[in-house]
Amino acid sequence: MITTAFPYLTILIFIASALLYLEHKSKAKFFEYLPAIVILYFTIMSLSSLKLWEPTTEITLSYKSFKSNLLPAMIFLMLLQSDIRKVLKLGKKILLTFFLASLSISLGFMIMFALLHTFFEPQAWKAFGALSGSWMGGTGNMLAIQEALVLPDSKMGYVLLIDSIDYAIWVMILLALVPFAQKFNTWTKADASVLETLTSKLNTENLNNINFPTLFMFLGLALMVSLLAQNLAPFLPTSSFVSNTTWIVILATLAGILVGMTPLSKEASAQPLANMMLYLIVALIASRANFSELSQAPLYIFSGFIIILIHASIMILFAKIFKLDLFSLGLASLANIGGIASAPILAGAYNKALIPIGVLMAMMGYMVGTFMGLGVSKVLQFIATFA
């Protein structure tokens, strides 16, 4: 049994890096439905359930130190390539569709929780709050909300179960609908030619190559942002919902958005560094979880499908009202629920020239996911007070 910090952290990093390498090198379809980050969580949780390490004082301190210090740094790095000026070039109709998707997902969470909250444990609103961050942004937003809401790591298993199983099925449905785009557009009377014009206007400049000096600089900059956010947060007003930790998350998010409008947004070195931190944080969270604490897994998975059903119903209704095309509709949905990992894939299924739109829409989710997820969490917390 492991009782000290170095072997504990080494095993987490080794498993995370090995799984990511295997996903990158393997051509197996398996990873399309179950990404390495999900396998990582349940692999580490299995080892935790088998008590490979003991939560000694040294291990607990190293866990808390790494997680609390790396999270703001990761949030900052993940937002660096989300240049808001490029997002605004998407045009009113695309932006409307994106926020319509975000709003319908938010309503899906609220309606589902209002119907089923009595079947869940009292703190379940926090798990769905974290999931809403993922489904309106990405994994980084989910982890930011988890930290802000002080959601126990043991409950993150539910979040990742929904985020992998329900999401995978939704991706397959959206891809299967691609051949029916023309019929759908005829039904909604949408003008699909707007997308071709938009694609030609977008600036798709390439990022600078990854290099060691820039990578090292980003590491120092990200850690400095984390340090400053943690030192500034205590001076800001708190309430029953906006805690010191919430402010740390918000400050790191704002820093990422602001620096994303500088020439640093053109550097590709930030993303791999952010991903390394992301995988380590997920591994750390999983190391505190246990399978015995996932007794309500089927109910959570079922709830996820209800959220998607409500979201899809609202999107179809508004597609008819606002004459939206199937591409914009599906991409807006996947840019929220799937993020940067899957939105460009769906865009490419329609036309490879549309991939930049998928990337930019997913980046927009990174920018707003944390704020919107915290808003949804507040509503879910209020609903949870009703027996």
Residues whose CB falls within 8 Å of the CB of residue 62, separated by 6 or more in sequence, listed in order: 5, 8, 9
Per the domain annotation, does 340 fall within a domain?
Answer: yes
* Sign, Cα dihedral of 21, 264, 234, 159: negative
> Average pLDDT in the 345-364 region?
75
How does pLDDT run across 120-176, given as a tens digit for each residue? 988 899 999 999 998 998 888 888 898 889 888 878 888 888 887 888 788 888 888
Residues whose CB falls within 8 Å of the CB of residue 316, separated by 6 or more in sequence, listed in order: 329
Looking at residue 241, its pLDDT comes to 66
Q: Which residue, 64, 50, 82, 113, is CA-closest to 291? A: 50
Per the domain annotation, does 46 fall within a domain?
Answer: no
pTM equals: 0.78
Q: Which residue, 300, 331, 285, 311, is CA-closest to 119? A: 300
Looking at residue 198, its pLDDT comes to 60
How does pLDDT run across 168-205, given as a tens digit for each residue? 788 888 888 888 888 898 898 887 665 666 655 555 55
- Total domain count, the chain: 1
Q: 166 near 368, Cβ under 8 Å?
A: no
Per the domain annotation, does 130 fall within a domain?
Answer: yes
Q: 268 near 50, Cβ under 8 Å?
A: no
Per the domain annotation, does 302 fall within a domain?
Answer: yes
How does pLDDT run across 99-116, given as a tens digit for each residue? 999 999 999 999 999 999
Exposure class string for 213-228: b at 16+ Cβ within 10 A, else e: ebeeebbebbeebbee
How does pLDDT run across 58-97, given as a tens digit for each residue? 999 998 899 889 988 988 988 887 767 776 777 777 888 8
Per the domain annotation, does 255 fall within a domain?
Answer: yes
Per the domain annotation, does 40 fall within a domain?
Answer: no
Let me know if 189 is exposed, middle or buried by CB neighbors in 10 A (0-12, 13-18, 19+). exposed
Let me know if 311 is exposed, middle or buried by CB neighbors in 10 A (0-12, 13-18, 19+). buried
Per the domain annotation, does 121 fall within a domain?
Answer: yes
Cα–Cα distances (Å) from 3 to 57, 283, 296, in that order, read: 9, 17, 31
How does pLDDT run across 307-317, given as a tens digit for each residue? 999 999 999 99
Per the domain annotation, does 47 fall within a domain?
Answer: no
d(CA 182, CA 325): 9
Domain containing 249 equals 83-152+163-269+294-384
